Amino acid sequence: MGHSPVLLVDAAAVRVTVGWLSRDQSPLWVSSTGEAGTEIFQCLQQLGKDVNAAAAFLFCEGPGSVLGIRTAAMALRTWGVLRPRPVFAYGSLALLAHATGRVDLGIIADARRDSWHHFQLGAGLRRVATVDLAGELATPVEFRNWTPLPAGVLRLPYDLPELWRRAQDSDIIRETTAPDAFLHEDPSYVTWTPQVHRAPARR
């Protein structure tokens, strides 16, 4: 990224993690489990760093907890209004896949409606129906899922300090001007037409 120090915020898992990445010192990390809207700021307080001192922001855009990710993105957008700085994003499953380093392993996270976010080294991120999942699979332990996990799925820890140490040199970071939660496709909407409900006409 070329910026230092960088404030990292990851709220994709049930455990919020905030990091302070600097060229001249070891990374500092604080994690806390709870509602992202409060835990992000509690982690910042425990970190003991001034947001204004950050030269850039880095956050996880997902997949993961959409509410947590959007809460983190909203905080970054607010800080960016107060003092504009570059914002960078990375994907949770890409981070885990690169840290694991296994090209034969698919990393999955629940995408609802009986489908899964699926990332594999060399293949990238895609959305896959449960019936189409194949090969060896793993999922982050700290991610919630509503669809039952397929049999035999490995449970890997989503431990940011360790994952970042192992994957920080991977090409998984991109700059963004509009931080938000990752979506495979834009949401679609239908037009609602108000209509008075009447009893069926008698024949």
Q: pLDDT tens, 127-177?
A: 999 999 999 999 999 999 999 999 999 999 999 999 999 998 899 999 999
Cα–Cα distance between 102 and 93 in angstroms, integer? 13
The tally of domains found in the chain comes to 1
What's 65's domain CATH number? 3.30.420
Give the pLDDT confidence score for residue 2 in this predicted structure: 81
Domain carrying residue 99: 6-175
pLDDT over threshold 90, residue 190 = no
Examine residue 165 and state whether it is found in any structural domain, yes or no: yes
Beta-bridged to residue 9, according to DSSP, are 18, 59
Examine residue 141 and state whether it is found in any structural domain, yes or no: yes
Cα–Cα distance between 20 and 48 in angstroms, integer? 10
Examine residue 120 and state whether it is found in any structural domain, yes or no: yes
Cα–Cα distance between 162 and 84 in angstroms, integer? 30
For CA atoms 13, 112, 177, 125, give the dihedral sign. positive
Examine residue 181 and state whether it is found in any structural domain, yes or no: no
The pTM assigned to this predicted structure is: 0.88
